[in-house]
Amino acid sequence: MIKEQFKDSYKLLKKHLKDINESEATFQPDIANNNIKWQLGHLILLNDFLVFETINGDNALKQPVTKYFLWGTSPLNFDGNEPSFEELKLLLDEQFDRIFNNLEEQLKKIEVKQ
């Protein structure tokens, strides 16, 4: 059930991001402190943190990706070396499989112990 809900959330998010290009993703309204690109990077980082670091202490995302989307950062920290919006969309695609492969492994370990 959780996997289906997560899968539906990912599908909906990907549907909304599908037609957004780099220029649109990096547009930052005057009234906002960030943009769609930063939001997506932060979401990916947060999901990795909550799943991988919380469950087994691993850091799935490596530098330099993380330094642009950590808490307390903003698009002002972008220096041209951050992942493109297309790269972030690919990371999102890969993340779903990584998360559920990891969770399934953890569930198998729990079942073996019982």
Q: What is the pLDDT of residues 41-58, one digit of tens each?
A: 999 988 888 877 777 666
Phi, psi of 20 (to 5 degrees): -90, 130
Domain ranges of the chain: 1-112
Task: Answer yes or no: are the C-beta atoms of 32 and 44 closer than 8 Å.
Answer: no
Tell me what the pLDDT averaged over the chain comes to.
86
What confidence tier does 105 reach under pLDDT thresholds 50, 70, 90? confident
Task: Answer yes or no: are the C-beta atoms of 41 and 88 closer than 8 Å.
Answer: yes
Stated pTM of the model: 0.83
